[in-house]
Structure 1
Amino acid sequence: MNKKIFIVEDDADLSEAIQLILKGEGYQTAASLDKNSIKGVILHMPDLVLVDNKLKDGLGSELCVAIKNHPLTSHIPVILISGYANLSAIARECGADDYLNKPFEMSELIETVGNHLKHLV
């Protein structure tokens, strides 16, 4: 079965590009444009969540905390993506499993996602 990735990115073009790249790697994807998507995470029960930190309706780090604190989703790896200079500290504070600084190479995205999903059967 294909691994599922849930993407929370308010830049529709970037979200679409990420989805195309990940689908090309054999992953299933679903996406949301806002952080009010813990419901989306629970609904899709993905194997991994990619979340932009700067969203139109708040911070992705807040969604990360919600994911990590919810009993149904606390096991799901979260990768924070953003152009913030202190992204590593933000990722650490919110409990994210990893982070990618924007702009990132798509090969870097594929490698980071793969690293977090390789242990899953």
Structure 2
Amino acid sequence: MVLKKILVIDDDEDVRLILSDILRQAGYQVKTGKDVTAVYEIEKDPPALLLIDNWLEGKTGHDICWQLKQDPRTQNIPVILISATTKLDETARRCGADDYICKPFDLVDLVNKVRLTIRQ
């Protein structure tokens, strides 16, 4: 069985490790990155889902999401924004994200949102 791949981008190493562990335990293959460079060749090996922090050094997650959703090669990759920022729901809607997760997050809710988003 081929595991569905999730790309997790967060500049906080602890958050990347937690997300990776939880998602691997849930049965996903996980690749991680700490900044925008992790999406540079995303169209060559697209993940089943991109889980991206909204506040990254150099470029915001919502800017990255918006750019991916404008490109025909990447527009169908589901994106979930994750952040502790206020009004994340509005930010996610404006950039075309498929969903959002507020920090701090419940691990069960996170896995459920990931499963639902990948199935859509």
Q: TM-score, normalised by structure 1?
A: 0.92
1:80 and 1:100 in contact (8 A); partners too? yes
1:64-115 deviations in Å (ceiling 9; x for gaps): 0111112211101100000111100000000000000111011111000010
Residue 110 (structure 1) aligns with: 111
- Which structure 1 segments of 5+ residues have no match? none
Deviates more, 1:35-44 or 1:3-12: 35-44
Count of matched residue positions in the alignment of Structure 1 and Structure 2: 119
The answer as to 2:40 corresponding to 1:39 is yes
Identity of aligned residues (%): 37
Counterpart residue number, 1:82 = 83
Which amino acid is 1:20 matched to?
Answer: D
SS in 2 for 1:50: strand
> 1:71 aligned to 2:64?
no
Where do 4+ consecutive residues of structure 1 move more than 4 Å? none
Q: Structure 2 stretches of 5 or more lacking a match?
A: none
How far the C-alpha of 1:40 sits from its partner, in A, is 4.2
TM-align CA RMSD: 1.2
